[in-house]
Amino acid sequence: MATITTAADAVAAIPDRATVASVGVIGWITPDAVLKALGDRFRDTGAPRDLTFYFPCGTGDAQGIRGMDHVAQEGLMKRIVSGSYINPVDPKTGRRPELMRLIRENRIEAYSWPIGASMHWLREVARRSPGYFTRVGLGTYIDPELGGGRFTERAEADLVRRVSVGGEDLLCYPTWPIDVAIVRASSADEFGNLSWEDEALVSANIGLILATKASGGRVIAQVRRIVGRARRPASAVGIPGYFVDEIVVEPEMMMTTDVAFDPAYYSGARRPIADLPRPEMSADKVIARRAAREVRRRELSIFGFGAAADIPLVMAEDGHFDGDGLDDWWFTTEHGSYGGVVMSGWQFSANINPSAIMDGLYQFDVIDGGLCRFAALAFAQFDAEGVVNVSRFGAANPGAGGFIDIAENARRLVFTGTFTTGGLDVRFENGRLHIVRDGRISKFAEKAESVTYRVRDGVRDRGQTARIVTERAVFDVTAEGLVLAEVAPGVDVRTHILDRMDYAPVRIAEPLPLMDAALFQTGPVPLDRTGS
């Protein structure tokens, strides 16, 4: 039977050199009170020391819900393995997360794994298998031939290996035991049975708990409330109390960043489509509008962070979901929320009015199995060899997240983002784009700083189709290179496109079509102009 205790007492017995694992998705399901207690304990006592932290994905926002930034302390954190990192500038302090400082200054051993691997690896730990084997990620930054996911010079261990099985090259992620799991659920009863009835996501919580118990470790669960054992049907319980050691009750925990609690995120209530936020007119909105024309009815579509996540919101604004129209559009994200409308910004990863919420490990079975036929993803760089980079660039070290799994296994790909970054300022006048000030940095670099996915290889070898949508141009990705397929009204091809690329497209469409002027207007785009 689990013990109900305080966050401070729950972390008091964590020893030096332990492996501590936790999971959240930005602010969603982040056990922030317990992570804070662990960080406070080290700050006050200097113990425990030299921990290895395992986060299947970026946990916390590093601001109001600090998550893994609570434990980003030199001495406490020796090593971190994470499926993604959070790297925003705090608007109050102007500073980036402390974890990013430790990585940039080489203070810790830091590794970045694709989220698909970080999720599926837990299953192998739970099975006590020697490792997780996969094709996903070969030829990318996680491949040992291209760095093995190391993000600091101190990261010298070979946590990923390239092996041959039956003559086929695979990536192997060897398993190791987890000593302590820190998870979050909605409620627990006095026996410790956990349920997630009012959370928007489950993510890797179940896999993490089972992996830890198979390792002989201890599970700490942060919950919103304690309920009687007769209050829930057995089918609602996600984890039996046999696998939970300590319960920490935190009744006021935030649902996620900027959301104290909203039942529309798990369909405990329904939010009218008309009440959804409307993205402000911007370059990102133009990009989302143009990318929305690539989405097809009744095709499972998965959306990534950034301008891609605005696509469902602009579709809602333009009336696609009026009446029962939403039933024809099948949306999800890498974290397992199905149906409804994908949200953007800090609320990304969850959907408003979802129809189902899937466990995180099974969601990556869906992704790796190719069931998400269409994917809209962001890009930070796209180079002359057809390599797309979102994992490491400039001062940013976000990692790949679910990008590699999604990009390798979808059939149709759209990459979204502004053409340049670093000070881009645009205006919209009479259906035309006016570039007031261009960004300092072109995203079309000669060579990407990190290999997140080789798009041209996917087009050539696996029959994928790929398109890049920016605010001023649309490119088709072919086996030979980029083809300039559309240009925004008001843009000069030479000055604003070709001269701002480090390499030339292999071809320019002739004649070169203009992007629809309706994309650049401030009001909703009429349905008969969307092409859907």
- 88, 98 in Cβ contact below 8 A? no
DSSP secondary structure of 410-479:
-SEEEEE--SEESS-EEEEETTEEEEEE--SEESS-SS-SS-SEEHHHHHHHH--EEEEE-SSEEEEE-S
CA 311 from centre of chain: 16
CB 185 within 8 A of CB 194: yes
Residue 133's beta-bridge partner residues? 172
Structure token digits, residue 84:
């993604």
DSSP structure string for 198-260: T-S--TTHHHHHHHHHHTT-EEEEEESEE--TTSS-GGG-SB-GGG--EEEE-TT--SBTTBS
Sign of CA dihedral 289, 395, 114, 118: negative
Considering the candidates 98, 124, 294, 334, report the single residue annotated as catalytic.
334
Residues 6+ apart with CB under 8 A from 124: 130, 131, 132, 173, 175
- In Å, what is the CA distance from 117 to each residue of 60, 131, 401? 20, 11, 10
Contact 147, 136 (CB under 8 A): no
Residue tagged 């049907």 (tokens): 233
H-type alpha helices, 254-310: 283-292
Tokens 């305080």 found at:
6
Is 334 marked active-site? yes
> How far, in whole angstroms, is CA 66 from its chain's centroid?
17
Burial 388-421 (b: 16+ CB within 10 A, else e): bbbbbbeebbbbbbbbbbbbbbbebbbbbbbbbb
Place of tokens 């192997």: 172
407 SS3 class: helix
Query: Minimal CA–CA distance to 275: which of 317, 218, 335?
Result: 317
- Which sequence positions are flagged as catalytic? 334
